[in-house]
Amino acid sequence: MSLTSQVELLPEVEAFLNKSPFASFVGGQEFPSGSGELIATIDPGSGQTLAEIHDLNAAEIDRAVDIASDAFPAWAKLSQGERSKILLRLADAVEQHKPIIAQIEALDAGKIQAQAAGDVQNFVDTLRYFVGLADKVELRTKLDVPGHDAWTFKQPWGACAFIFPWNFPFLLIGWGISPALAAGNTVVIKPAEDTSLSALYLAQLATEVGVPDGVINVVTGRGAVAGAALSANAKIKRMSFTGSPEVGQLVGEACGRNLVPVKLELGGKGAAVVFDDVDVKATAEALVGAITFHSGQVCCDATRWLIQEDIYDEFVAHCIEQMKQVQIGHPLDPQSQMGPVVNPKQCQRVLGYQEKGQAAGAECLYGGGPATVDGFTGNYVNPALLAGDLENVAAREEIFGPVAYLAKFDSEEQAIAMANDTDYGLANSVWTKDNDRAARVAEAMVAGNSWINAHNVFAHGVPYGGVNKSGMGGGVLSVETLMDYYRSTSVVRPL
């Protein structure tokens, strides 16, 4: 059975997919792998092969970095106004092509189509945000130092590298490359091997709207070869990696050897601390919404739900009621609320943690196991609620699926200690009507981000990053992120 007999594709998406196999895109043109090796990219919702992408080797990655480095001086030399005009043209073009990119992303990443459209809009908003900031940055700052004429001068670094995961491919590209490009750097993007299609579409579109050749480059291939070569390349001026802590350590080590500054945006095991003064039903609905959003494949998700004892039973009952209503289906079906997980390996990981967690004593309060969707053989899993001791493997390790782990607490102090009993430090939330308590708990939880009466909150201008096993290097989405993409020179003349 062909994919087009199962789902309705936009003609533009069908035409795009018919171009398979896809070479990488470097220096404004297709950049094929010399070996002819290909990687299949699969629709997780149907198991059908969407396309094949070229699998670059290390020498080819190094060549792409050289091309990005060669393109740097001319891009950096443009006035900010000229550069901004080109980037805003790209933002407009992405917005105009939103339905097409969203459908490509929905098929490639198994993402509900409306959510994929939100990701594409987020890319557009992020690019416009950083261009707006870069237009206002003072590059020269006079320093008031007695006896010296002194100032600092900021300029872009050169070719910057980006390695991305598969869960938010297009949105994360926007978060990563927008500040780098706006500041005048060129970029080499290595998308995840499962989800490279939207990046390739972007690179082609960038060339069409006049982004100079070599400014936005996309290299495809396997992490252990292409990703490793990119992170070990001594000519890149900055590295940004988003993905698992295990690979983040390898990337950090490789960059350390070359003294290349590195940003690591890694996994999480966030807590939601729910006090007994909340609207219990509304809070249960919000947290079930968060854990089932993109099938729980969200780094900053609340996966440990810490509930004050006296509302625990009522809270669990509302969660179960809410989970029962989640419509699991193919990402292109408008009725679907939760799609598949990205690949069979991820499916096994999610199901495996449910089994390991229960074997170690966790109680399954609801759901779990594989899910079936009529007419589709995809990687579908049921959402699940586990409960028990927080020492349990399912409470300690990142599952990256629609699985929440519940535990009871008594006092505020105990809740904070439970939330902080983790190796991670990405994002937590606190739920209460008491604003003083909310602020106290939000500041006491050890993580890069604390949200109040909400989870997964992102606003341009609010820094987002992790601490401990969740990341290092400054994070994304804020003025500071833009400044990371300028290097600073101090200039001094003794008087």
Residue 471 contacts residue 239 (beta carbons within 8 Å): no
In the complex with ligand NAD, the residue whose CB is nearer, 265 or 333, is 265
In the complex with ligand NAD, the residue whose CB is nearer, 156 or 221, is 221
Which residue in 319, 294, 296, 304 sits closest to 428, CA to CA?
A: 304
Task: Output the CA angle 268-201-58, nearest 5 degrees.
Answer: 70
- Please indicate whether residue 314 is annotated as part of the active site: no
User: x/- contact string, 152-171, with ligand NAD (CB under 6 A)?
Assistant: -----------xxxxxx---
- Please indicate whether residue 95 is annotated as part of the active site: no
State in angstroms the smallest separation of the CB of 149 from ligand NAD.
42
Choices 38-46, 117-125, 237-245, 414-422 (CB under 6 A): range interacting with ligand NAD: 237-245
Task: Give residue 112's identity as a one-letter amino acid code.
Answer: I
In the complex with ligand NAD, the residue whose CB is nearer, 7 or 262, is 262
The alpha carbon of 148 is separated from its chain's Cα centroid by a whole number of angstroms, namely: 45
Token code pair at residue 397: 């390790």
In the complex with ligand NAD, the residue whose CB is nearer, 130 or 164, is 164
User: x/- contact string, 91-120, with ligand NAD (CB under 6 A)?
Assistant: ------------------------------
484 binds ligand NAD (CB under 6 A): no
Q: How many CB atoms lie within 10 A of CB 4?
A: 11
In the complex with ligand NAD, the residue whose CB is nearer, 108 or 398, is 398
Residue 405 contacts residue 303 (beta carbons within 8 Å): yes
Among 158, 378, 402, 471, the residue binding ligand NAD under the rule CB under 6 A is: 471
223 binds ligand NAD (CB under 6 A): yes
In the complex with ligand NAD, the residue whose CB is nearer, 166 or 312, is 166
State in angstroms the smallest separation of the CB of 434 from ligand NAD.
30
Token code pair at residue 451: 């949200």
Dist CA 174 CA 96 (whole Å): 16
Which residue in 377, 379, 378, 421 sits closest to 400, CA to CA?
A: 379
In the complex with ligand NAD, the residue whose CB is nearer, 163 or 203, is 163
Task: Output the CA angle 326-332-333, nearest 5 degrees.
Answer: 50
Catalytic residue among 299, 300, 319, 347, which? 299
Task: Output the CA angle 72-78-80, nearest 5 degrees.
Answer: 115
Catalytic residue among 265, 397, 398, 412, which? 265
State in angstroms the smallest separation of the CB of 34 from ligand NAD.
20
Dist CA 463 CA 426 (whole Å): 12
- Please give the helix or strand (H or E) that residue 256 lies within, else none: helix 245-258
In the complex with ligand NAD, the residue whose CB is nearer, 67 or 228, is 228
* Cross-strand pairs, 366: 385
In the complex with ligand NAD, the residue whose CB is nearer, 184 or 448, is 448
Interface residues for ligand NAD in 361-400 (CB under 6 A)? 398, 400
449 binds ligand NAD (CB under 6 A): no
State in angstroms the smallest separation of the CB of 189 from ligand NAD.
10
Dist CA 62 CA 48 (whole Å): 33
State in angstroms the smallest separation of the CB of 266 from ligand NAD.
5
Among 48, 115, 231, 354, the residue binding ligand NAD under the rule CB under 6 A is: 231
Which residue in 31, 9, 11, 12 sits closest to 21, CA to CA?
A: 31
Dist CA 182 CA 261 (whole Å): 19
Task: Output the CA angle 37-40-41, nearest 5 degrees.
Answer: 140
Q: Measured at CB, which residue is nearest to ligand NAD?
A: 223
228 binds ligand NAD (CB under 6 A): yes
- Please give the helix or strand (H or E) that residue 81 lies within, else none: helix 80-96
State in angstroms the smallest separation of the CB of 150 from ligand NAD.
37
Dist CA 216 CA 232 (whole Å): 20
Residue-wise DSSP of 224-277? IIIIHHHHT-TT-SEEEEES-HHHHHHHHHHHHHHT--EEEE----EEEEE-TT
State in angstroms the smallest separation of the CB of 317 from ligand NAD.
30
Number of residues that bind ligand NAD (CB under 6 A): 30
Token code pair at residue 157: 């670094």
State in angstroms the smallest separation of the CB of 119 from ligand NAD.
12
Interface residues for ligand NAD in 240-299 (CB under 6 A)? 242-244, 247, 250-251, 265-268, 299
**List of residues 6+ apart from 411 with CB closer than 8 A:** none
State in angstroms the smallest separation of the CB of 227 from ligand NAD.
2
Binding site for ligand NAD (CB under 6 A): 163-168, 190, 192-193, 223-224, 227-228, 231, 242-244, 247, 250-251, 265-268, 299, 398, 400, 426, 466, 471
Query: Which residue numbers are catalytic?
Result: 265, 299
